[in-house]
A and B are shown apart, each in its own frame.
Chain A
């Protein structure tokens, strides 16, 4: 296995805009190792989400190579990229993206159903994941009955329940108040330590930045700074 869990090699991503093109990522070179708690930071439009989407095999680079878990994203078929996401990647979205007709339990269980896990395995794993995020008593609630913070914690449980190697979190605190934002990040930080899962954030939230071990600064699609940071023991 490659030493790097994620390897981005001269990745460029261009989108058609009107008659021309918009370059979202320009010759980006990055590597991430297992267990990192890293963030891609930068202003809106700097290419953070695009980079995360490529790493998450939801999108492909126009040029360059993105290798995730030893798989070249550009060369994966739809089926292979679905399998990569299902087994190795967890996603946390800005607006949680919980499935509205399912209960909290069922939302978290979903990824395991796709992995054909048995009902007893699923139940055990889901309850454990809900315990991680402190929502074991809300298993039967529907997403509409949850607060923003609770919704995002369900999203974390959903991303973590299958114990993926990498969790990609796109602006996970953007819709949360400061207290909830800190609680969410602290939860992820704990899981990062406990399970050695690689967390990769796209954010411009300073509350998140305070927890990161590494910050990759993007501007106009280019990496302008890549810094390692001393861990702070932030307490809200």
Chain B
């Protein structure tokens, strides 16, 4: 085996430009593969961290008739809770409402949240500090779409517990910047005390967000979803994106492997005399098959080295400085930070190397098998077709 590696190395280096072209293409596929997976992993990590910090907390109770994917359940999807029984839980009451910025009408989710909560990163403390009648905080996206700025007042219309319309001005006291569209787009956050007051739904909540120190207990009339349950959907979306991305780098890898396959086929055809000479000098046919297979698979080793030469600085730069995402990237509905920092784990790198080496070995072996059936006399004469 050592001999095969020595000979393969000499043959590859001796082949000059042909070798380096194959190695270049393969190393590019290799770097792209690691980069893309690193990007998705970075996005995955960031999306999970942000979703926990801004939306999910450490678990959620949803009122049993409330379905977050069905807006028709909002009207009745709330229930009264006992304050002394919700230790470690922050209540959120969601109501439908309309705001009228610049005379336009915008449907919003009016969300009441405990101003003193610390579970979510929302800047709810500012709600307490304001003297406005209904202080509200909104996200950057919401502010942009409604053309609202800090300090602006805007008319809000809602229904109280009896279904009667009521309206008053709300004051935007803070605009937060977060990567989770679900807490930003079309959302207006007010103090839950104020929402109870203006709707008459005192002690009602649509959902209860668990803090880190919450100890789970079942509550009648409420459905609990753990953090893992909540993140599963996000993980599924990211896994789907990873799969679709793998088609792209799979194609790139296929092109590189096809180049190796072609090179091997051509090489075996052109080097018949050499093959015959190896056999005449005392190599078995399978040793020669091994030599050509190792030669092909060594493209992947060289590609690893070449890929490392420019990939490691590139990965380091990307992991340090991140990638700026397009402004409208979060229209996809899941959290995307303005800058994503790819994560290049050992598992990803070693896995990619193994995948490339095994693939290159297989595509090298396939044409090399032909050598085992070669007649050495014909090979020496270069007569094989």
A residues within 8 Å of B by Cβ? Answer: 53, 56, 58-59, 78-79, 82-83, 85-87, 91, 93, 95, 97, 99-102, 106, 110-111, 113-115, 158
Contacts and interface: CB of A to CB of B under 8 A. Distances in A.
A115 B273 CA distance: 22
B276 interface: yes
Nearest to A101: B14
Interface in B275-294: 276-277, 279-287
B252 interface: no
Given A78-B285, A97-B380, A99-B274, A91 B14 contact: no
A106 B273 CA distance: 18
Given A85-B281, A86-B283, 9 more contacts: A58-B377, A82-B283, A85-B279, A85-B280, A97-B273, A97-B277, A97-B280, A99-B274, A101-B15
Nearest to B288: A82
A58 B376 contact: yes
B281 A91 contact: yes
Contacts of A86: 281-283
Nearest to A54: B377
B8 to A, nearest CB: 11
B13 interface: yes
Contacts of A85: 279-282
Interface in B340-377: 375-377
B10 A101 contact: yes
Nearest to B11: A101
Contact of A93 (B10, B13, B380): B380
Interface in B1-39: 3, 6, 10-11, 13-15
A78 B10 contact: no
Contacts of A114: 3, 281-283
A78 B375 CA distance: 11
B279 A58 contact: yes
Contacts of A100: 14, 274
A157 B6 CA distance: 21
A50 to B, nearest CB: 8
A79 B282 CA distance: 9
24 contacts: A53-B377, A56-B280, A58-B380, A78-B286, A79-B284, A82-B287, A85-B279, A86-B283, A95-B273, A97-B273, A97-B274, A97-B276, A99-B274, A100-B14, A101-B10, A101-B13, A101-B14, A102-B10, A106-B10, A110-B281, A111-B281, A114-B281, A114-B283, A115-B282
B15 A99 contact: no
Nearest to B9: A101
A110 B279 CA distance: 12
From A83, A91, A99, name the one whose CB has the most chain B CB atoms within 10 angstroms.
A99
Contacts of B376: 58-59
Nearest to B276: A97
